[in-house]
Amino acid sequence: MAGLVELATPSVDALPGEESEVGVVVCNTGDVDAAYELDVEGAVAHWAFVDPALVHLAPGDSRTVRLVLRPPRTGEVPAGPMAFTVRLHARADPDGDELVEGTVDLVAFEAFTARLVPEALEVRTRGRARIEVTNDGNIPIVVRLRAESPDGDLGLKLDDETMVVPAATSASASLAVRPRHRRLVGKGRSAPYTVHLESLLRMATVSGQAQPKGSLPSVLLRGVVGLAVLAGLALGGRACLASRDSGPATSKKGLPVVIRNAPPPLEDDDGNPTGFEEAPPVTPVSVPEATPSIPVETTVALPPGVGPGVPLRRLFDPALSDYVYTVDAKEAAKLVKSGLVEQGTVGRVLPAKVAGTVPLYRLKKRDGRHVFTVDEAERRTLTRAGAVAERTVGYLLASPAGGTTALYRLTKDGAPYLTIDSAEVQSRQADGWTNEGIKGYVLV
C-alpha cells in the first residue's frame, strides 16, 4: 500500500542521559485502509524508537508519531552528528517500504574522575605518586594540573602539567614528592598535599598524605650505635690501665694542667711544684646545623596553543576570490594542493557541541563560493536558494568568557570573511567591506 513518511525536522539535538524527540509524519496515499510499521535504523537504533511503532490510517489520512531518542550518558557514544533512517513498512505491501533520513546532533558533555595512587606515601629523600584521570565524557578533554603543599613541608613537582585524555579512556601523570626537612632516623609528621585539576568546564581536587621517613634504616643505626659503645668501652679500659702507671697532672681544683716549655720544675716553700698553670675551662661552642640545599622549583609555562579546541584554518581561493575555513588538517592540505593559499588560523573552535555554543555552518553556493553562518534561518534560506550544506565546521561560544575573543564576519560582493582582528575589521571597512558584527567567540 502506498505510504509516505517525513520528519518534522531533518536534524535534532540530543543531550546524553536525557530524552529528546522529533515528530514523524506518516501519510496513507493509497485508496484503502493500511497498517504501517515504523522502525529506526543506523547507529542510533539501540537507543531510539518510534512511538507508536504501528499506525492504522484510512485513505488520505495522516498522523504524527514520536521518534524518541535516549542517548546514554557515556563516553562510548561520541559527540557530534549521527545519521539515522526511519523505515516505513506497509504490511500489505512487503516491497513498498519508504525511507526518510535524518541527523541526531549529540551534544557534548564533560565528566571526569580523578584519584591519587597511593593516597598515603612514605618518603625518605624522594617519592612518587600517580594522578589517574578517567574521561567519562563523550569528547576529548585537556586537563591542567597544579600541585600544592598547604604547610610548605613538601616539595612537589609534576612531570606533566597538562594532560590530553580522549573520551572513554584514562591517562595518568606522575608527581615527585620530596620532604623539605629530611630526617636521619624514625618517622616524621605526615604532611598533607593536594592536586587541583581543571578542564574547560569542570574542576576537581584530590588529596594525599606524605610521611617523611629516616634516611638510615633502624637496623643500621643500632649497629652503628653498638659499635660506638664498644669502641668507647675499649678506649675507656685502655685509659684506666694507663692511669695506673702515671696519672695526668692536676691542679688543686682538680683541673688538668698545662706544662710550660721551661726548665725542670721546682718546688715552692710549701713543697708544691712550680712552673705549672691551670688550664682554663673549655667553653662549648654551638655549631649551627647545616641546612640541606633545596633546589628552587619553577613553574613551566604551558606551550602556545595548548588548550581545548582545534585551530580554525583560513584558506583563500584566488580564482574565485573565495575564503574557506576548516579545522581538518588533511582537507587543508588537499585545498593547498589544488591551488588555495593558506592564511593561518582564526582562533580555536570546539570540535563538538557543548552548552552555550552555536554551530558554524559551511555552505557552498551555486557559483562555487562558500558561506559561513551561525544563523539557522540564514542556513535554511541559502539551502532553499540552491546552496549545498557541506558541514558544521565547529562550534563557537555564544557569549564571551575567559580566554576567548570575538569573531567578526564581513562581506563584500557576496564573499564572507571571518576575523578576530579589530584593526583588520576597520581596514576592510575602509576598503568597502560590510561589518556584520560579532557572530560568536573563539578560544585564543
Give percent helix, percent strand, percent coil of the chain, each to the nearest 5.
Answer: 15, 50, 40
**Count of beta carbons in the 10 Å neighbourhood of residue 39:** 14
**Which residue has cell 584521570?**
133
Phi–psi pair at 441, nearest 5 degrees: -135, 135
Is residue 429 helix, strand or coil?
helix
434: number of CA atoms within 13 Å, CB side? 7
Q: Hey, what's the torsion of the CAs at 242, 247, 248, 249, to 10 degrees?
A: -160
Q: Which residues of 338-351 are buried (b: 16+ CB within 10 A; e: fewer)?
A: eebeeeebbbbbbb
Is residue 207 helix, strand or coil?
strand
* One-letter identity of residue 267: E
Asked if residue 374 lies in contact with residue 407, where contact means CB atoms within 8 angstroms, the answer is no
* Tens-binned pLDDT, residue by residue, of the chain (444 aa): 578 999 988 888 888 999 999 999 999 988 899 999 999 999 999 999 999 999 999 999 999 999 999 999 988 888 888 899 999 999 888 777 899 999 998 888 888 999 999 999 888 788 899 999 999 988 888 899 999 999 888 999 999 898 889 888 999 999 999 888 776 666 778 899 999 999 877 889 999 998 887 655 555 556 555 676 666 666 766 655 555 555 555 555 454 544 444 445 545 555 555 444 444 554 454 444 443 333 333 333 323 333 468 899 999 998 888 999 999 888 899 999 989 999 999 999 988 888 788 899 999 988 889 999 998 888 888 888 888 888 889 889 888 887 889 999 999 887 899 999 989 999 999 999 999 999 999 998
pTM confidence score: 0.50
* One-letter identity of residue 341: V
**Count of beta carbons in the 10 Å neighbourhood of residue 186:** 11
* Cell triple for 322: 573565495
How many whole angstroms separate alpha carbon 263 and alpha carbon 276? 11
Q: Write down the pLDDT at residue 259.
A: 45
* Residues in contact with 126: Cβ distance below 8 Å, sequence separation at least 6, in sequence order: 176, 177, 178
Is residue 363 helix, strand or coil?
strand
CA 40 to chain centre: 36
User: Nearest-CA neighbor of 386 among 404, 405, 373, 368?
Assistant: 368
